[in-house]
Amino acid sequence: MAGYYDIDDILAEEELVPSVFQHDANGVGLFDSSDDTDKVIAGSRAELPFWLVRELYLRQLISIRVPPCFDRDSKTREEIGADAAHVDLKSRCAYFYTLGCKIAPLIGDKTIGPFLLVAFRTRYREVLIKAHTLSLSVAPKYLILLTNEEAKLYEAGQSSIVAFKKWRMGGPRFQMAPVLGRKRKPT
């Protein structure tokens, strides 16, 4: 499990999973604020964040549906199968791989793992090529397709290219501390 303080892990667990309550819950009013009985009845549907879903699902208090992007006969699977590198994954799930890895053992769907692997393998190649060759002006168009994990890889690839160029050209070895760099007005 990722670290307790891991920002990305925290944000990945914020992704919503469609779930159905299997049991009444008292004193929980916030899911549906129009209701003032302060109660959720069995059978109601809600999209719950993953951090809540895991514990409740293990106790069989809710049942869940696989998020649409992992679903066995969803459009996403077909698109990944057709041309993985150009699917806009970010808008479907910003932490596609992290959430996938968390949700697969929970629901015991054996097809999610290989699916993630195929998606990553094809997309990683593209990410690496683009990171090394794309000029800064075209990059934003491509970046919006990437999930947060891929964007990190992209940045890593780019910074290694920058470091390589710097090494080849030579240049100042001392630099101003990066914290002092931006003198933006505090908002």
Partner 1 sequence: MYGRKASELVKEFATSEPGQLSTFNNDLYSQVLEECEGHLLHLQPLMRKIQEHENELKDKRSSEDATEDSEDERRKTEAEKTIIQTALKSDQFGALVHHLSLVRNKRCLMAYVYNRAEVVRSLGWMVDNVLPEEIDEKLSSSEKEYFKNHVATLQSYMSELDLHLTVDTVPPKDPYIKVRVKEDIGEVALSDQVANLAQHAIMFLRRTDAEQYITQGQMEELTS
The footprint of partner 1 (CB under 8 A) covers 4-8, 10-11, 14, 23-28, 30-31, 39, 49, 51-52, 55-56, 59, 61, 170-183, 186-187
Residue 68 beta carbon to partner 1: minimum distance, rounded to whole angstroms: 19
Q: Between 78 and 155, name the residue whose CB sits nearer to partner 1.
A: 155
Closest distance to partner 1 from the beta carbon of 106 (Å): 15
40 within 8 A of 83, measured Cβ to Cβ:
no
Token readout for 64 is 């869940």
Q: Nearer Cβ to partner 1, position 7 or 136?
A: 7
How crowded is the C-beta side of 88, counted as CA atoms within 13 Å? Answer: 5
Tokens of 66: 């696989």
The total of other beta-carbon atoms located within 10 Å of residue 72's CB is: 10
We find the least distance from the C-beta atom of residue 183 to partner 1, in angstroms, to be: 6
From the list 12, 113, 107, 109, the residue with the least C-alpha distance to 64 is: 107
Smallest gap from Cβ 84 to partner 1, in A, equals 26
